[in-house]
Structure 1
Amino acid sequence: MSTIHVVEEIYIYPVKSLAGISCRQALAEEMGFENDRRWMLVDAENQMITQREHRIMSQFYPQISKGKISITFQDQKHEFSIDEHLENPLEVNVWEDKSEVVEVNKATSKWFSEHLGFECKLVKIIKIGNRKHESSKLKETYNVSLADGYPYLLVGTESMDFLNEKLKDKITVLRFRPNIVISSKKAHEEDDFDHFSIGEVQFKNVKPCGRCIMVNNDPQNGTLKKEPLKTLSTYRKADNLVFFGTNIVSLNTGIIRVGDEVVF
């Protein structure tokens, strides 16, 4: 049993590319934490919308309470039920993966369209198996949510500390949109984790996470910076990718909590 690796923070991101929610505990499921990236915005051609092109999305803040999700943007708020959706299925792509989704409702799509300034729809993935993602490294196929590739992203505290030692302007782990932050002993040791458990849940490491320009978007104000990719590329670049954090999958369903130990 490890006495070093302990869960420090847990996050979910109900709507892909919007702000996240800090949690004291979360239910781990096959597709990711409950209510994590089950929703996504798509444009008029049903193409996914992310912070890569629309940095203002970081300024939309979700909250979950009593079976409803509320989204706050500036001084405006909109609310919809976790369970509501229209019946007609849509096919969208999350990168190379085809995904079957449904629109939440017309009023919610209209609210996002008005505040983003272009026509869009809020859609939801409902069933396990409505999107499958193949790991090129492990040659395995996973049922996933609307996350970029894998259900969970794990980051160690020492990885963040090591990076911040090199940065003039310090940043928080929120730049990397992790699901689980653990205390660690050395930078990037999470890359080499294999199988481990947290609380009731067994996890398997898939591969380190290649990062994109989105981590340069300051979530506090939606402005694009040069960091941290500029600095990370000096010591975390391989095969034309810059790596930070590691992608993991859960092998069973259960609760994990802040303070739980990571057991190898």
Structure 2
Amino acid sequence: MPVLSQIHVYPVKSLAGFQVNVWPVDQRGLQYDRKWMLVDTDRQFLSQRRLPKMALIKTRIESDALILSASGQADLRLPLLEVAGEAIEVTVWDDRCIGIGCGSAADEWLSRFLDRDCRLVRQADVDVRKVDPDYAFDTDQTGFSDGFPFLLVSENSLNALNMAMQLPLDMNRFRPNLVVAECDSYAEDTWRRISINDIVFRLPKPCSRCAIPTIDPETARPGKEPLTTLNRLRKWNNKVYFGQNALHDRTGLLSVGQPVVIHETGSAQPPLGKDR
């Protein structure tokens, strides 16, 4: 039976994340996942697509604080809970959200390291960012993710891709939230409804990939892989796919080692041959 083998949390959109063994799930996904975001002077979100150096900023959560770390700078400590601050309308792709400014010290810390004027915002607790209704229920919501609260990938899908590339890329290149072991490569392409610890997940859409997986998270340098191989093996309708977006039907607690129960399957998405 498939099992949950890794849980990854990314508190700040496009900064480095961290792995945990146990983590709560709230209405928006993994607690604190993509709860914070950097925006430019036009209040548009920033990501590694524009600033690869964002990959070098590490994150961790300790007690009541989110802590950012970067080479040559003292750690930046931020409260986990919402505190009074300027409410700012920010944009994530086509969505407008309400962020709470995290203060000038945070903005200066990030702007200095990235050599780019930017601001750090925390998604307002009252803000409700709904998921694309073409794939979701009206009650589904997410934080500052690209569009879905979860991204799921299987270990053997990465093993198959690495074998095709003849490169040992780490899973963190692909920034999944949930990693599943003990299943065939790309088995997740056919999953439509699964559950982990009684939390039901719907998998309505495969994840199309941008250039971020080409960025080495240790050096922030871009390369050609895995996009070159994905273009050869996982291309459909002029996009390449790896992993599945997921939505959840309730809150709860996830732990590494929990069984992944497959309730419903369908045709592969994207519709590629099994060997690809």
CA distance in 2, matches of 1:178, 1:73: 22
Residues 1:64 and 2:64 aligned together: no
1:217-241 CA distances to partner (integer Å, 9 max, x unpaired)? 1112111010001001111111111
Residue identity in the other structure for 2:128 = N
CA contact (8 A) 2:82 2:124 kept: no
| CA shift for structure 1 position 39 | 0.1
User: For structure 1, which segment, 129-138 or 168-177, has the greater mean C-alpha deviation from structure 2 after superposition?
Assistant: 129-138
Aligned to 1:158: 156
Normalised to the residue count of structure 2, the TM-score between the two structures is: 0.90
CA distance in 2, matches of 1:211, 1:141: 26
- The partner residue of 1:249 within 229, 239, 247 is 247
CA distance change for structure 1 residues 67 and 130 in 2, over 3 Å: closer, same or farther? same
| CA shift for structure 1 position 128 | 5.7
CA distance in 1, matches of 2:234, 2:133: 21
For residue 233 of structure 2, give the secondary structure of its aligned residue in structure 1: coil
1:24-73 CA distances to partner (integer Å, 9 max, x unpaired)? 01111221100100000001111111000111111000111011011110
Number of positions where the alignment pairs a residue of Structure 1 with one of Structure 2: 261
CA distance in 2, matches of 1:184, 1:135: 32
Residue identity in the other structure for 1:134 = D
Residue identity in the other structure for 1:259 = G
- The partner residue of 1:30 within 20, 27, 52 is 27
CA contact (8 A) 1:198 1:260 kept: yes
User: For structure 1, which segment, 23-32 or 76-85, has the greater mean C-alpha deviation from structure 2 after superposition?
Assistant: 76-85
Residue identity in the other structure for 2:100 = V
Aligned to 2:266: none
RMSD: 1.5
Residues 1:260 and 2:265 aligned together: no
Aligned to 1:109: 107
Normalised to the residue count of structure 1, the TM-score between the two structures is: 0.94
CA distance in 1, matches of 2:76, 2:86: 23
Aligned to 2:234: 236
CA contact (8 A) 2:4 2:181 kept: yes
Aligned to 1:42: 39
Residue identity in the other structure for 2:119 = K
| CA shift for structure 1 position 200 | 3.7
- The partner residue of 1:74 within 56, 71, 75 is 71
| CA shift for structure 1 position 192 | 1.5
For residue 195 of structure 2, give the secondary structure of its aligned residue in structure 1: strand
1:85-120 CA distances to partner (integer Å, 9 max, x unpaired)? 443321111111111111112211111111111211
Unaligned runs of 5+ in 2: 263-276
User: For structure 1, which segment, 190-199 or 140-149, has the greater mean C-alpha deviation from structure 2 after superposition?
Assistant: 140-149
| CA shift for structure 1 position 182 | 0.4
CA contact (8 A) 1:97 1:133 kept: no
Residue identity in the other structure for 1:6 = V
CA distance change for structure 1 residues 64 and 138 in 2, over 3 Å: closer, same or farther? closer
User: For structure 1, which segment, 193-202 or 38-47, has the greater mean C-alpha deviation from structure 2 after superposition?
Assistant: 193-202
5 Å-filtered alignment, 1:1-264, equals 4-76=1-73, 77-127=75-125, 129-137=127-135, 142-264=140-262
For residue 232 of structure 2, give the secondary structure of its aligned residue in structure 1: coil
CA distance in 1, matches of 2:211, 2:59: 23
CA contact (8 A) 1:102 1:125 kept: yes
CA contact (8 A) 1:41 1:122 kept: yes
For residue 259 of structure 1, give the secondary structure of its aligned residue in structure 2: coil
Residue identity in the other structure for 1:23 = V
CA distance in 2, matches of 1:141, 1:235: 35
CA distance in 1, matches of 2:224, 2:255: 34
CA distance in 1, matches of 2:72, 2:112: 14
